[in-house]
Amino acid sequence: MFAVKPRHWFANIRANAVDIIVSLSCLMFMIHGGVFIVQFTWAVIYGIWLMIVKPKSSTFGVILQALIAQSAGMMALTIAWGGAHSLILVLGAWVINYMSARHFFAGFEEPMARYLSQVWGYFSASLLWILSHWLLFYGPIAQPALLLTVIGFGLGGMYYLEKSDRMSTMLQRQINFVVFAVVMIVITLSYWGNRTI
């Protein structure tokens, strides 16, 4: 990646950003796993990523890579730096979600890919900034990571179905309802009071 002239480094980093995000995420999961069997499981999952998921170049493969990178990256960010200053969390969320969205739109002929990626990065950074003040965890999954994963999968699925001419009004309503229901359940059943865990 760095074996070329420095002017090509940023393009190489952007092209390999999803792999870097997943690699660092698996490393964070192994570090915070603690037990050997958990670390070994994450090593096997990373091997599956390298051998099966990463080499895919079809549209569905690129979408899958982007969604996995976003989910794993957000989980790793909140696990590793959940107690850090909110600026670090916001910048990390913006980078992870912007790069994942750029990779997602690379699978399509989208003329507004850069703009849409910036909007998604801004939305996720804003959501993480608000929720970083009440960073709640459901096991190893933080609330912002869960919400962004659900919303990202919903929007990504609808975009994919729309571009492949398989989107119907009923299917769109179903996806919207499921995403809305999960978001409302997470928000409603969360304890928003002032307490230390």
- List the chain domain ranges: 58-188
- The pTM of the full predicted model, rounded to 2 decimals, is 0.90
pLDDT range class, residue 69, cuts 50, 70, 90: very high
- What percentage of the chain exceeds 90 in pLDDT? 73
Q: What is the pLDDT of residue 194?
A: 61
Q: Does the pLDDT at position 20 exceed 60?
A: yes
Examine the pLDDT at 137 and tell me if it is beyond 90. Answer: no
Structure tokens at 11: 């393009």
**pLDDT tops 80 at residue 167:** yes
On the question of pLDDT at 47 being above 60, the answer is yes
SS (H, E, C) the chain: CCCCCHHHHHHHHHHCHHHHHHHHHHHHHHHHHCCHHHHHHHHHHHHHHHHHHCCCCCHHHHHHHHHHHHHHHHHHHHHHHCCCCHHHHHHHHHHHHHHHHHHHHCCCCCCCHHHHHHHHHHHHHHHHHHHHHHCCEECCEEHHHHHHHHHHHHHHHHHHHHHCCCCCHHHHHHHHHHHHHHHHHHHHCCCCCCCCC
